[in-house]
Amino acid sequence: MFTHIKTSRSNKQLVTELSRKLNLGAENIIARIAFSYSISKDRMFSILDIKDSQGKEYSKNVLFGNNYPFYLSILCTHYKIDKTNNDIPKFFKMHIDDGLELIDTELKENPNLNGFDYLIEKIDSGLSEIC
């Protein structure tokens, strides 16, 4: 069981910048979106790929709120692991770091996007893939 997750040092400032640019609320919101976006890209990581943990720190409760069981289910299904796996915090961390970097790259390519437009674009794109 874990209580905290920290982003990489390089993503510490990125969390703040993306939260401010997208204006979607507290910094834990961008971390949730980053995790979800990375998972949605069907990215799989090895524990050996983990970056440093010297960035933004989130408690499990702040990061996931009451929705932790849902995020855990998504992660466990994605990796086909049991909810008691000791590497779960590392997988969460890697997907948050990865998602932050993916979002940052996209926003650099399209700097005029605001948070609402960004989310609508992702929702529309996701719906197009399943229809």
Question: Could you tell me the mean pLDDT of each successive run of 10 residues in the chain, 131 residues long?
Answer: 85 89 88 93 91 87 94 97 94 95 90 82 73 58
- pLDDT for the residue numbered 115: 81
- pLDDT for the residue numbered 131: 58
Spell 44-81 as b/e; 16+ CB within 10 A means b.
Answer: ebeeeebbebebbebebeebbeeeeeebeeebbebeee
CB 92 within 8 A of CB 6: no
- pLDDT for the residue numbered 38: 95
* CATH code assigned to 4-130: 1.10.1220.160
- pLDDT for the residue numbered 129: 66
